[in-house]
Amino acid sequence: MRIIVCMKQMADGSFNPFDTSALECALQLMPDQITLLTMGRPEAASWLEELTRLGPVDAVLLSDMAFAGSDTLATSYVLSCWLRRETYDLILCGRQSIDGETAQVGPELAAMLGLELVPRVMGAKTEGRHLICKTRTGHIRTGFPALLTVERAWDIRFPCLFAQKGKLQIMSAENLGADPARCGLMGSPTQVIRSCENTGGRRNCQMIAPRDICKIIRKALEKNEDGFCKIQNAEEKSEEKLPFLWITDPVLETVAGRLAKQVYLVPLDLTENKTLSKEQLHSFAELVRRSNPPAVLFPSDWRSRYAASAVAALLETGLCADCTALSVEGGELHMIRPAFSGSLTAIIRCRTRPAMATVRTLESKEETLILSVGKGAVSCKKQILEWADRCQGAVTATRACVENGEFSYEEQVGLTGRNVSPKVYVALGISGAVHHIVGMECSGTVIAVNLDPEAPIFRYADYGICCDITEFCRHILSLTDTAEK
Protein backbone atom coordinates (compact mmCIF):
# COMPACT_ATOMS: atom_id res chain seq x y z
CA MET A 1 0.00 0.00 0.00
CA ARG A 2 1.22 3.48 -0.87
CA ILE A 3 -0.01 6.56 0.99
CA ILE A 4 0.50 10.17 -0.11
CA VAL A 5 0.52 12.75 2.70
CA CYS A 6 0.00 16.37 1.62
CA MET A 7 1.83 18.79 3.89
CA LYS A 8 2.05 22.56 4.23
CA GLN A 9 5.05 24.40 5.64
CA MET A 10 4.20 27.31 7.95
CA ALA A 11 5.87 30.72 8.04
CA ASP A 12 8.21 29.67 10.89
CA GLY A 13 9.46 26.68 8.89
CA SER A 14 7.58 24.00 10.81
CA PHE A 15 4.85 21.93 9.21
CA ASN A 16 1.14 22.41 9.84
CA PRO A 17 0.26 20.27 12.91
CA PHE A 18 -2.86 18.87 11.22
CA ASP A 19 -0.56 17.58 8.46
CA THR A 20 1.96 16.05 10.85
CA SER A 21 -1.01 14.33 12.50
CA ALA A 22 -1.91 12.95 9.06
CA LEU A 23 1.66 11.69 8.66
CA GLU A 24 1.53 9.85 11.99
CA CYS A 25 -1.82 8.35 10.97
CA ALA A 26 -0.17 7.10 7.77
CA LEU A 27 2.79 5.63 9.69
CA GLN A 28 0.46 3.71 12.01
CA LEU A 29 -1.27 2.12 9.00
CA MET A 30 2.16 0.57 8.21
CA PRO A 31 2.06 0.91 4.40
CA ASP A 32 4.84 -0.22 2.09
CA GLN A 33 5.61 3.38 1.15
CA ILE A 34 4.67 6.90 2.27
CA THR A 35 5.31 9.89 0.02
CA LEU A 36 5.23 13.41 1.43
CA LEU A 37 3.94 16.01 -1.03
CA THR A 38 4.58 19.71 -0.44
CA MET A 39 4.24 22.84 -2.53
CA GLY A 40 6.60 25.46 -1.18
CA ARG A 41 9.89 27.31 -1.21
CA PRO A 42 13.23 25.51 -1.76
CA GLU A 43 14.01 25.88 1.97
CA ALA A 44 11.30 23.31 2.71
CA ALA A 45 13.63 20.59 1.36
CA SER A 46 15.69 20.23 4.56
CA TRP A 47 12.55 20.00 6.72
CA LEU A 48 11.08 17.36 4.43
CA GLU A 49 14.29 15.34 4.51
CA GLU A 50 14.12 15.18 8.31
CA LEU A 51 10.60 13.75 8.12
CA THR A 52 11.75 11.04 5.70
CA ARG A 53 13.74 9.54 8.62
CA LEU A 54 10.50 8.41 10.27
CA GLY A 55 10.01 5.23 8.25
CA PRO A 56 9.58 4.06 4.64
CA VAL A 57 9.13 7.68 3.59
CA ASP A 58 10.23 9.67 0.55
CA ALA A 59 9.28 13.24 -0.34
CA VAL A 60 8.37 15.41 -3.30
CA LEU A 61 8.72 19.20 -3.20
CA LEU A 62 6.87 21.20 -5.83
CA SER A 63 8.77 24.47 -6.00
CA ASP A 64 8.57 27.20 -8.61
CA MET A 65 8.11 30.98 -8.59
CA ALA A 66 5.06 30.35 -10.77
CA PHE A 67 3.37 28.82 -7.70
CA ALA A 68 3.83 31.92 -5.50
CA GLY A 69 0.63 33.49 -4.22
CA SER A 70 -1.58 30.46 -4.91
CA ASP A 71 -4.99 30.43 -3.24
CA THR A 72 -6.63 27.13 -2.29
CA LEU A 73 -7.86 26.38 -5.81
CA ALA A 74 -4.48 27.06 -7.43
CA THR A 75 -2.74 25.05 -4.69
CA SER A 76 -5.08 22.11 -5.24
CA TYR A 77 -4.48 22.30 -8.99
CA VAL A 78 -0.68 22.18 -8.60
CA LEU A 79 -0.87 19.22 -6.21
CA SER A 80 -3.27 17.43 -8.55
CA CYS A 81 -0.84 17.81 -11.46
CA TRP A 82 1.65 15.59 -9.64
CA LEU A 83 -0.95 13.22 -8.17
CA ARG A 84 -2.44 12.45 -11.60
CA ARG A 85 0.93 11.01 -12.65
CA GLU A 86 1.15 8.63 -9.69
CA THR A 87 -0.45 5.45 -8.38
CA TYR A 88 -1.51 5.34 -4.73
CA ASP A 89 -4.06 3.83 -2.38
CA LEU A 90 -4.70 6.74 -0.04
CA ILE A 91 -4.18 10.48 0.11
CA LEU A 92 -4.11 12.04 3.58
CA CYS A 93 -4.48 15.78 4.19
CA GLY A 94 -4.72 17.65 7.47
CA ARG A 95 -8.27 18.94 7.93
CA GLN A 96 -7.01 22.52 7.67
CA SER A 97 -3.95 24.68 8.17
CA ILE A 98 -3.64 26.72 11.36
CA ASP A 99 -3.03 29.97 9.46
CA GLY A 100 -5.69 30.03 6.72
CA GLU A 101 -8.15 27.65 8.45
CA THR A 102 -10.27 27.29 5.29
CA ALA A 103 -10.30 23.45 5.19
CA GLN A 104 -10.67 23.62 1.39
CA VAL A 105 -7.63 21.92 -0.16
CA GLY A 106 -8.58 18.35 0.81
CA PRO A 107 -12.14 18.47 -0.58
CA GLU A 108 -10.97 20.35 -3.68
CA LEU A 109 -8.30 17.74 -4.37
CA ALA A 110 -10.81 14.92 -3.95
CA ALA A 111 -13.16 16.58 -6.45
CA MET A 112 -10.38 17.23 -8.98
CA LEU A 113 -9.16 13.63 -8.79
CA GLY A 114 -12.61 12.02 -8.61
CA LEU A 115 -11.90 10.37 -5.25
CA GLU A 116 -14.20 9.46 -2.40
CA LEU A 117 -13.75 11.91 0.48
CA VAL A 118 -13.76 10.83 4.13
CA PRO A 119 -13.72 13.99 6.26
CA ARG A 120 -12.62 14.67 9.85
CA VAL A 121 -10.86 11.37 10.50
CA MET A 122 -9.75 10.62 14.08
CA GLY A 123 -8.76 6.98 13.67
CA ALA A 124 -8.18 4.51 10.83
CA LYS A 125 -7.43 0.82 10.32
CA THR A 126 -7.28 -1.45 7.30
CA GLU A 127 -9.66 -4.37 6.88
CA GLY A 128 -8.75 -6.31 3.76
CA ARG A 129 -9.15 -4.00 0.78
CA HIS A 130 -11.14 -1.52 2.82
CA LEU A 131 -10.37 1.18 5.36
CA ILE A 132 -12.44 1.69 8.52
CA CYS A 133 -12.32 5.33 9.58
CA LYS A 134 -13.40 6.74 12.91
CA THR A 135 -14.69 10.25 12.24
CA ARG A 136 -16.27 12.94 14.40
CA THR A 137 -19.72 11.71 13.34
CA GLY A 138 -19.23 7.94 13.41
CA HIS A 139 -17.45 5.14 11.56
CA ILE A 140 -17.12 5.10 7.76
CA ARG A 141 -16.02 2.17 5.62
CA THR A 142 -14.38 3.10 2.32
CA GLY A 143 -12.50 1.40 -0.47
CA PHE A 144 -9.30 2.41 -2.22
CA PRO A 145 -8.29 4.87 -3.53
CA ALA A 146 -9.74 7.54 -1.25
CA LEU A 147 -8.82 10.89 0.27
CA LEU A 148 -9.01 11.47 4.02
CA THR A 149 -8.93 14.80 5.86
CA VAL A 150 -7.38 14.17 9.25
CA GLU A 151 -8.02 15.81 12.61
CA ARG A 152 -5.25 16.81 14.99
CA ALA A 153 -5.60 13.47 16.75
CA TRP A 154 -2.04 12.08 16.50
CA ASP A 155 1.29 13.34 17.82
CA ILE A 156 4.13 12.84 15.39
CA ARG A 157 6.83 10.40 16.58
CA PHE A 158 10.55 11.11 16.78
CA PRO A 159 12.93 9.40 14.33
CA CYS A 160 15.27 6.66 15.48
CA LEU A 161 18.74 7.93 16.33
CA PHE A 162 20.47 6.30 13.35
CA ALA A 163 17.57 6.49 10.87
CA GLN A 164 18.63 7.43 7.35
CA LYS A 165 17.01 10.10 5.20
CA GLY A 166 14.76 9.02 2.36
CA LYS A 167 14.76 10.21 -1.23
CA LEU A 168 13.72 13.81 -2.00
CA GLN A 169 12.62 14.96 -5.46
CA ILE A 170 12.15 18.62 -6.40
CA MET A 171 9.87 19.42 -9.34
CA SER A 172 9.07 22.66 -11.17
CA ALA A 173 5.95 23.77 -13.03
CA GLU A 174 7.60 22.67 -16.28
CA ASN A 175 8.40 19.22 -14.84
CA LEU A 176 4.74 18.84 -13.85
CA GLY A 177 3.36 20.08 -17.16
CA ALA A 178 1.26 22.55 -15.16
CA ASP A 179 -0.65 25.30 -16.95
CA PRO A 180 0.93 28.60 -15.75
CA ALA A 181 -2.46 30.30 -16.12
CA ARG A 182 -3.82 28.07 -13.32
CA CYS A 183 -0.91 28.52 -10.91
CA GLY A 184 0.09 31.20 -8.44
CA LEU A 185 -1.50 34.63 -8.41
CA MET A 186 -2.42 34.31 -12.08
CA GLY A 187 -4.40 31.14 -11.44
CA SER A 188 -5.99 32.23 -8.17
CA PRO A 189 -9.60 33.35 -8.64
CA THR A 190 -9.80 34.90 -5.15
CA GLN A 191 -8.00 38.21 -4.74
CA VAL A 192 -7.41 40.17 -1.52
CA ILE A 193 -8.39 43.78 -2.19
CA ARG A 194 -7.21 45.11 1.17
CA SER A 195 -6.71 44.03 4.76
CA CYS A 196 -6.60 45.70 8.15
CA GLU A 197 -6.14 44.84 11.81
CA ASN A 198 -9.11 43.00 13.24
CA THR A 199 -10.37 45.14 16.15
CA GLY A 200 -13.98 43.95 16.13
CA GLY A 201 -15.64 42.97 19.39
CA ARG A 202 -13.45 45.04 21.72
CA ARG A 203 -15.08 46.34 24.91
CA ASN A 204 -14.19 48.40 27.98
CA CYS A 205 -13.32 45.89 30.67
CA GLN A 206 -14.08 46.61 34.33
CA MET A 207 -12.09 44.49 36.78
CA ILE A 208 -14.17 42.97 39.59
CA ALA A 209 -13.71 40.65 42.57
CA PRO A 210 -14.76 36.98 42.29
CA ARG A 211 -17.51 37.53 44.87
CA ASP A 212 -19.28 39.96 42.47
CA ILE A 213 -19.73 37.57 39.56
CA CYS A 214 -23.04 36.00 40.64
CA LYS A 215 -24.67 39.41 41.04
CA ILE A 216 -23.43 40.55 37.61
CA ILE A 217 -24.63 37.36 35.91
CA ARG A 218 -28.04 37.67 37.56
CA LYS A 219 -28.47 41.31 36.45
CA ALA A 220 -27.30 40.53 32.90
CA LEU A 221 -29.76 37.65 32.59
CA GLU A 222 -32.60 39.94 33.69
CA LYS A 223 -31.92 42.39 30.84
CA ASN A 224 -34.18 42.28 27.78
CA GLU A 225 -31.33 42.58 25.28
CA ASP A 226 -30.40 39.33 23.60
CA GLY A 227 -26.83 40.14 22.73
CA PHE A 228 -24.09 42.61 21.92
CA CYS A 229 -25.00 42.23 18.22
CA LYS A 230 -28.70 42.10 17.45
CA ILE A 231 -27.86 39.93 14.43
CA GLN A 232 -24.65 38.59 13.03
CA ASN A 233 -23.50 41.28 10.63
CA ALA A 234 -23.06 39.04 7.61
CA GLU A 235 -23.81 41.88 5.24
CA GLU A 236 -22.67 45.47 4.95
CA LYS A 237 -25.03 48.23 3.96
CA SER A 238 -24.66 48.91 0.25
CA GLU A 239 -26.68 50.83 -2.27
CA GLU A 240 -25.78 48.31 -4.97
CA LYS A 241 -27.39 44.92 -5.43
CA LEU A 242 -26.64 41.92 -7.60
CA PRO A 243 -29.44 41.03 -10.05
CA PHE A 244 -29.81 37.63 -8.34
CA LEU A 245 -27.88 35.06 -6.36
CA TRP A 246 -28.26 31.51 -5.06
CA ILE A 247 -28.35 30.27 -1.50
CA THR A 248 -28.25 26.64 -0.41
CA ASP A 249 -29.97 27.05 2.97
CA PRO A 250 -32.92 29.18 4.20
CA VAL A 251 -30.76 30.49 7.06
CA LEU A 252 -29.09 32.79 4.51
CA GLU A 253 -32.28 34.41 3.17
CA THR A 254 -31.96 37.61 5.23
CA VAL A 255 -28.31 38.07 4.33
CA ALA A 256 -28.91 37.39 0.64
CA GLY A 257 -31.94 39.69 0.50
CA ARG A 258 -29.71 42.66 1.31
CA LEU A 259 -27.28 41.73 -1.46
CA ALA A 260 -29.47 40.82 -4.45
CA LYS A 261 -32.74 41.84 -6.07
CA GLN A 262 -33.78 38.20 -6.35
CA VAL A 263 -32.74 35.28 -4.17
CA TYR A 264 -33.13 31.66 -5.28
CA LEU A 265 -33.01 28.84 -2.74
CA VAL A 266 -31.33 25.79 -4.30
CA PRO A 267 -30.96 23.41 -1.35
CA LEU A 268 -28.34 20.73 -0.96
CA ASP A 269 -29.36 17.42 0.58
CA LEU A 270 -27.09 17.77 3.60
CA THR A 271 -28.65 15.81 6.43
CA GLU A 272 -27.12 14.88 9.77
CA ASN A 273 -23.91 12.82 9.52
CA LYS A 274 -24.03 12.88 5.73
CA THR A 275 -21.85 14.31 2.98
CA LEU A 276 -22.81 14.52 -0.68
CA SER A 277 -21.77 11.78 -3.08
CA LYS A 278 -19.55 12.51 -6.08
CA GLU A 279 -22.60 12.21 -8.33
CA GLN A 280 -24.61 14.74 -6.30
CA LEU A 281 -21.73 17.21 -6.30
CA HIS A 282 -21.29 16.91 -10.07
CA SER A 283 -25.05 17.40 -10.59
CA PHE A 284 -25.10 20.54 -8.45
CA ALA A 285 -21.99 21.93 -10.18
CA GLU A 286 -23.57 21.32 -13.59
CA LEU A 287 -26.73 23.12 -12.47
CA VAL A 288 -24.65 26.12 -11.40
CA ARG A 289 -22.71 26.03 -14.67
CA ARG A 290 -25.90 26.13 -16.75
CA SER A 291 -27.61 28.87 -14.72
CA ASN A 292 -24.44 30.96 -14.21
CA PRO A 293 -25.51 32.93 -11.09
CA PRO A 294 -23.26 35.84 -10.05
CA ALA A 295 -22.82 34.30 -6.60
CA VAL A 296 -23.63 31.18 -4.57
CA LEU A 297 -23.73 31.33 -0.76
CA PHE A 298 -23.41 28.36 1.61
CA PRO A 299 -23.71 28.19 5.40
CA SER A 300 -20.45 27.63 7.30
CA ASP A 301 -21.29 24.26 8.91
CA TRP A 302 -18.74 21.57 8.11
CA ARG A 303 -20.92 19.68 5.61
CA SER A 304 -21.62 22.83 3.61
CA ARG A 305 -17.94 23.82 3.72
CA TYR A 306 -16.92 20.47 2.20
CA ALA A 307 -19.65 20.62 -0.44
CA ALA A 308 -18.76 24.21 -1.37
CA SER A 309 -15.07 23.32 -1.74
CA ALA A 310 -15.83 20.40 -4.04
CA VAL A 311 -18.25 22.44 -6.18
CA ALA A 312 -15.72 25.29 -6.46
CA ALA A 313 -13.09 22.84 -7.68
CA LEU A 314 -15.44 21.35 -10.28
CA LEU A 315 -16.36 24.84 -11.53
CA GLU A 316 -12.77 26.14 -11.26
CA THR A 317 -14.04 29.19 -9.41
CA GLY A 318 -13.11 30.99 -6.21
CA LEU A 319 -14.43 30.22 -2.74
CA CYS A 320 -14.08 32.44 0.32
CA ALA A 321 -14.53 30.64 3.65
CA ASP A 322 -16.08 31.81 6.92
CA CYS A 323 -17.24 35.23 5.74
CA THR A 324 -18.36 37.50 8.58
CA ALA A 325 -19.62 40.24 6.25
CA LEU A 326 -20.56 40.68 2.58
CA SER A 327 -21.15 43.70 0.36
CA VAL A 328 -21.69 44.57 -3.30
CA GLU A 329 -19.32 47.05 -4.92
CA GLY A 330 -18.83 47.73 -8.61
CA GLY A 331 -21.37 45.06 -9.47
CA GLU A 332 -19.45 42.27 -7.74
CA LEU A 333 -19.62 40.53 -4.39
CA HIS A 334 -17.01 41.52 -1.83
CA MET A 335 -16.36 39.01 0.94
CA ILE A 336 -14.96 39.90 4.36
CA ARG A 337 -13.32 37.26 6.54
CA PRO A 338 -10.72 36.91 9.31
CA ALA A 339 -7.21 36.10 8.07
CA PHE A 340 -3.89 35.03 9.65
CA SER A 341 -5.55 33.25 12.59
CA GLY A 342 -8.03 36.09 12.95
CA SER A 343 -5.51 38.89 13.58
CA LEU A 344 -6.45 40.59 10.29
CA THR A 345 -9.67 41.21 8.41
CA ALA A 346 -9.39 40.69 4.66
CA ILE A 347 -11.73 42.01 1.96
CA ILE A 348 -11.75 39.59 -0.96
CA ARG A 349 -13.19 39.55 -4.46
CA CYS A 350 -13.55 36.69 -6.92
CA ARG A 351 -12.27 37.14 -10.49
CA THR A 352 -14.36 34.25 -11.79
CA ARG A 353 -18.08 33.56 -11.88
CA PRO A 354 -19.82 32.56 -9.74
CA ALA A 355 -18.29 34.04 -6.62
CA MET A 356 -18.77 31.47 -3.86
CA ALA A 357 -18.68 31.92 -0.10
CA THR A 358 -19.46 30.12 3.12
CA VAL A 359 -21.13 32.58 5.49
CA ARG A 360 -21.07 32.59 9.28
CA THR A 361 -24.47 33.17 10.89
CA LEU A 362 -25.62 33.12 14.48
CA GLU A 363 -27.03 29.86 15.77
CA SER A 364 -30.68 29.63 16.70
CA LYS A 365 -29.97 27.84 20.00
CA GLU A 366 -31.55 29.66 22.94
CA GLU A 367 -28.61 29.51 25.35
CA THR A 368 -28.76 32.42 27.80
CA LEU A 369 -25.66 31.56 29.84
CA ILE A 370 -22.52 29.91 28.49
CA LEU A 371 -19.49 28.88 30.53
CA SER A 372 -16.61 28.46 28.08
CA VAL A 373 -13.51 26.47 28.99
CA GLY A 374 -10.04 27.34 27.75
CA LYS A 375 -6.73 25.54 28.08
CA GLY A 376 -6.06 27.32 31.37
CA ALA A 377 -9.24 25.94 32.95
CA VAL A 378 -9.46 22.42 31.57
CA SER A 379 -8.10 20.97 34.83
CA CYS A 380 -11.25 22.36 36.52
CA LYS A 381 -13.65 20.80 34.03
CA LYS A 382 -15.51 18.82 36.70
CA GLN A 383 -16.16 21.91 38.84
CA ILE A 384 -17.22 23.98 35.81
CA LEU A 385 -19.71 21.31 34.73
CA GLU A 386 -21.10 21.28 38.28
CA TRP A 387 -21.42 25.08 38.24
CA ALA A 388 -23.17 24.94 34.85
CA ASP A 389 -25.59 22.33 36.16
CA ARG A 390 -26.46 24.47 39.17
CA CYS A 391 -27.09 27.64 37.15
CA GLN A 392 -28.64 25.88 34.12
CA GLY A 393 -25.89 27.11 31.82
CA ALA A 394 -24.35 25.52 28.74
CA VAL A 395 -20.66 24.59 28.51
CA THR A 396 -18.48 25.22 25.45
CA ALA A 397 -14.73 25.17 24.84
CA THR A 398 -11.87 26.53 22.78
CA ARG A 399 -10.25 24.64 19.92
CA ALA A 400 -7.29 23.61 22.10
CA CYS A 401 -9.63 21.83 24.54
CA VAL A 402 -11.42 20.09 21.68
CA GLU A 403 -8.20 18.95 20.05
CA ASN A 404 -6.90 17.39 23.27
CA GLY A 405 -10.10 15.35 23.53
CA GLU A 406 -11.64 17.06 26.57
CA PHE A 407 -14.67 18.34 24.63
CA SER A 408 -16.47 17.44 21.42
CA TYR A 409 -16.21 19.42 18.20
CA GLU A 410 -19.88 20.42 18.59
CA GLU A 411 -18.90 22.29 21.78
CA GLN A 412 -16.16 24.35 20.11
CA VAL A 413 -16.67 28.11 19.78
CA GLY A 414 -14.64 30.13 17.30
CA LEU A 415 -13.69 30.59 13.69
CA THR A 416 -13.80 26.86 12.95
CA GLY A 417 -16.53 26.10 15.48
CA ARG A 418 -19.83 27.58 16.63
CA ASN A 419 -21.04 31.19 16.55
CA VAL A 420 -22.85 31.94 19.81
CA SER A 421 -24.74 34.95 21.22
CA PRO A 422 -25.91 34.22 24.77
CA LYS A 423 -26.96 36.91 27.22
CA VAL A 424 -23.90 36.04 29.33
CA TYR A 425 -20.63 34.45 28.19
CA VAL A 426 -18.10 33.52 30.88
CA ALA A 427 -14.61 32.87 29.46
CA LEU A 428 -12.65 30.65 31.86
CA GLY A 429 -8.91 30.30 31.30
CA ILE A 430 -9.21 31.52 27.71
CA SER A 431 -6.28 33.57 26.41
CA GLY A 432 -8.33 35.50 23.85
CA ALA A 433 -6.98 34.46 20.45
CA VAL A 434 -8.92 36.28 17.76
CA HIS A 435 -10.02 33.03 16.08
CA HIS A 436 -11.95 32.30 19.29
CA ILE A 437 -13.27 35.85 19.68
CA VAL A 438 -15.05 35.81 16.29
CA GLY A 439 -17.27 33.03 17.59
CA MET A 440 -18.45 34.80 20.76
CA GLU A 441 -18.19 38.54 20.07
CA CYS A 442 -21.98 38.86 19.69
CA SER A 443 -22.58 37.79 23.29
CA GLY A 444 -24.46 40.18 25.56
CA THR A 445 -22.29 40.44 28.68
CA VAL A 446 -18.81 38.90 28.59
CA ILE A 447 -16.98 38.02 31.81
CA ALA A 448 -13.36 36.84 31.57
CA VAL A 449 -11.48 34.94 34.28
CA ASN A 450 -7.73 34.60 33.75
CA LEU A 451 -4.61 34.53 35.91
CA ASP A 452 -2.66 36.67 33.41
CA PRO A 453 -3.59 40.38 33.77
CA GLU A 454 -2.26 40.99 30.24
CA ALA A 455 -4.36 38.25 28.60
CA PRO A 456 -5.98 39.56 25.37
CA ILE A 457 -9.38 38.18 26.45
CA PHE A 458 -9.82 41.17 28.79
CA ARG A 459 -9.96 43.49 25.74
CA TYR A 460 -13.11 41.68 24.63
CA ALA A 461 -14.80 41.48 28.04
CA ASP A 462 -17.18 43.75 29.94
CA TYR A 463 -15.93 42.41 33.27
CA GLY A 464 -12.65 40.78 34.23
CA ILE A 465 -11.47 38.69 37.15
CA CYS A 466 -7.72 38.18 37.51
CA CYS A 467 -7.17 35.12 39.68
CA ASP A 468 -6.20 31.45 39.70
CA ILE A 469 -8.90 29.34 38.01
CA THR A 470 -8.77 26.59 40.63
CA GLU A 471 -9.32 29.09 43.44
CA PHE A 472 -12.05 30.79 41.44
CA CYS A 473 -13.95 27.54 40.85
CA ARG A 474 -13.72 26.63 44.54
CA HIS A 475 -15.03 30.09 45.43
CA ILE A 476 -17.89 30.09 42.90
CA LEU A 477 -19.13 26.68 44.06
CA SER A 478 -19.14 27.85 47.67
CA LEU A 479 -21.11 30.94 46.60
CA THR A 480 -23.71 28.85 44.80
CA ASP A 481 -23.86 26.49 47.79
CA THR A 482 -24.69 29.45 50.02
CA ALA A 483 -27.28 30.77 47.55
CA GLU A 484 -29.01 27.37 47.40
CA LYS A 485 -29.22 27.19 51.18
Residue range 40-52, pLDDT digits in tens: 999 999 999 999 9
> 167-201 as b/e, with b when 16 or more CB fall inside 10 Å?
ebeebebeebebeeebbbeebbbbeeeeeeebebb
Per-residue confidence (pLDDT) for residue 104, from 0 to 100: 93
Same-domain check for residues 280 and 317: yes
Q: Does residue 289 share a domain with residue 334?
A: yes
Q: How would residue 291 be classed by pLDDT, with cut points 50, 70 and 90?
A: very high
pLDDT at 17: 92
Report if residue 216 sits inside a domain.
yes
Contact 101, 344 (CB under 8 A): no
Do 373 and 470 lie in one domain? The reply is yes
Mean pLDDT of 197-226: 84
Domain of 88? 2-182
* 55 domain residue, yes or no: yes
Domain co-membership, 318 together with 303: yes
Answer yes or no: is 224 within a domain.
Answer: yes
Q: Which of 75-84, 151-160, 192-201, 435-444 has the lowest mean pLDDT?
A: 192-201
Output b/e per residue, 325-346; b: 16+ Cβ within 10 A. bbbbeeebbbbbbbbbebeebb
CATH for 159? 3.40.50.620
Domain count, the chain: 3
Provide the pLDDT for residue 272.
55
| Strand, coil or helix: 160 | coil
Domain of 449: which CATH number?
3.40.50.1220
Among 335, 359, 383, the domain boundary falls at: 359
Q: Are residues 354 and 387 in the same domain?
A: no
Final residue of a domain: which of 342, 359, 376? 359
Strand order of the β-sheet with 344-350 is: 190-197, 344-350, 332-339, 325-329
pLDDT in tens, 417-428: 888 889 999 999
Q: Looking at residue 341, what is its pLDDT?
A: 58
pLDDT score, position 242:
95
Query: Alpha carbon 310 to chain centroid distance?
Result: 16
Report the range of poorest mean pLDDT among 95-99, 316-320, 381-385.
95-99
Mean pLDDT of 126-140: 90
Judged by average pLDDT, the poorest of 36-40, 181-185, 315-319, 402-406 is 402-406
Mind listing the pLDDT tens digit for each residue in 423-444? 999 999 999 988 898 889 889 9
Q: Which of residues 341, 359, 377 is at a domain's end?
A: 359
Mean pLDDT of the 168-183 span: 96
In a domain, 156, yes or no: yes
Q: How much is the mean pLDDT over the chain?
A: 89
User: Is 438 contained in some domain?
Assistant: yes
- How far from 139 is each of 4, 124, 127, CA to CA, in Å? 22, 9, 13
Q: What's the CA angle centered on 104, arms 352 and 30, to 5 degrees? A: 145
Closest by CA to 425, choosing from 456, 454, 457, 401, is: 457
Q: Do 452 and 386 fall into the same domain?
A: yes
Q: Are residues 102 and 81 in the same domain?
A: yes
Residue by residue, DSSP assigns 51-109 as HGGGTTEEEEEE--GGGTT--HHHHHHHHHHHHTT---SEEEEES--TTT----HHHHH
Question: Would you list the DSSP string of 375-401?
Answer: GGGGGGHHHHHHHHHHHT-EEEE-HHH
Q: Which amino acid is present at 366?
A: E
Residues whose CB is less than 8 angstroms from the CB of residue 185 and which lie 6 or more positions away in sequence, other chains included: 68, 69, 70
Residues 291 and 412 in one domain: no
The verdict on residue 437 lying in a domain is yes
Query: What DSSP string describes 240-295?
Result: --EEEEEESSGGGHHHHHTTEEEEEE------TT----HHHHHHHHHHHHHH--SE
189 belongs to a structural domain: no
Establish if 144 belongs to a structural domain.
yes
**Same domain assignment for residues 255 and 342:** yes
Q: What is the pTM of this model?
A: 0.82
111 and 257, same domain (yes or no): no
**Is there a single domain that holds both residue 178 and residue 39?**
yes
Q: Is residue 314 located within the same domain as residue 458? A: no
Span 174-192, average pLDDT: 94
Contact call for residues 95 and 106 (beta carbons, < 8 A): yes
